[in-house]
Each structure stands twice: as C-alpha cells, then as structure tokens.
C-alpha cells in the first residue's frame, strides 16, 4: 500500500445535527479545494472498523480532526487508530461567533452554515500551511 505524507483532515460527519454537516463540508472544502496537494481525508467509518489496513494507513500520520459536538468522535477514533492528532477543531468554537444564526439542517446547510464551514476550512488551511 502506498503511504501518503499529506495531512489527514478527518471530520465527524455527525448525521444527527447540523454541526456534523458543517464539520464535513469544512473538511471536504479543505482537502478538495483549498489544499489538495497537502491534505487528504480518510473515511471515519473506515477508521472505526479498526481494520489492519486502515490502522497501517493512519499510524503516525499527522491528522487534524473536525468535530461537531462534545463527544469528539473524530478525534477519539483517529487517536485509537494510531493517528497523531495535532489539532482538534471544534465546530462550536466558530459557531460562537455567529450567535442567533440558522445554520441549516443535518441534510442541507443554509448560507450561514456555509459561512461557518468556510471559516473553519480557512483556519484548517492556515494550520496545514504552518505544518508544511
């Protein structure tokens, strides 16, 4: 298996609340649009399986997790898989700057939801550039 040195940006993609979708959209914007040469993602569901192949892929890799709720599922699962979590991004930290806004639903972000996702993606991009 070919190993990658790219920073792994892994969101929780929580399916029950809008902040899971914000985490997902922020991470995907980072790896697909802002830093495709420096960053990639790994399916969190694959990490959860604990398969040897994904453990090997994650082992010692530099990871930034993005979590939508205090359960911190992405961070905990990445750590369990052997990933080196250098930054735990919490969606709620950015949401605090947008009090009273409607961010959409777990199915579809509103314009304000995308504003928050884009802000988080920009912060992650900055962090990746610091790491590079």
Using an 8 Å Cβ cutoff, are 101 and 123 in contact? Answer: no
Q: Pick the closer one to another protein by CB: 81 or 127.
A: 81
Tokens of 109: 């972000």
Using an 8 Å Cβ cutoff, are 123 and 27 in contact? Answer: no
Neighbours of 88 (CB within 10 A): 17
Q: DSSP state, 120?
A: H
Q: At closest approach, how far in Å is the CB of 78 from another protein?
A: 9
Q: Pick the closer one to another protein by CB: 15 or 131.
A: 15
Q: At closest approach, how far in Å is the CB of 61 from another protein?
A: 15
Using an 8 Å Cβ cutoff, are 109 and 119 in contact? Answer: no
Q: At closest approach, how far in Å is the CB of 13 from another protein?
A: 4
Q: Pick the closer one to another protein by CB: 25 or 87.
A: 25
User: Which residues make up the interface to another protein (CB under 8 A)?
Assistant: 10-17, 19-21, 24-25, 27-29, 32, 41-50, 68-69, 71-74, 76-77, 80, 106-109, 114
Q: At closest approach, how far in Å is the CB of 130 from another protein?
A: 23
Helix axes 18-29, 111-131, angle to 10 degrees: 50
Tokens of 58: 């994650």
Q: Pick the closer one to another protein by CB: 46 or 55.
A: 46
């Amino acid at each position: 298996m070919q190993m990658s040195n790219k920073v792994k940006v892994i969101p929780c993609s929580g399916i029950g609340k809008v902040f899971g979708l914000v985490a997902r959209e922020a991470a995907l914007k980072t790896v697909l649009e802002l830093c495709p040469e420096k960053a990639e993602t790994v399916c969190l569901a694959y990490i959860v399986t604990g398969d040897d192949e994904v453990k090997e892929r994650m082992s010692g890799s530099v990871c930034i997790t993005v979590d939508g709720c205090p359960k911190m599922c992405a961070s905990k699962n990445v750590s369990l898989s052997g990933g080196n979590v250098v930054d735990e991004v919490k969606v709620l930290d950015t949401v605090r700057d947008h009090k009273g806004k409607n961010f959409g639903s777990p199915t579809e972000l509103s314009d304000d939801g995308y504003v928050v996702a884009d802000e988080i993606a920009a912060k992650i991009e900055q962090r990746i550039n610091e790491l590079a």
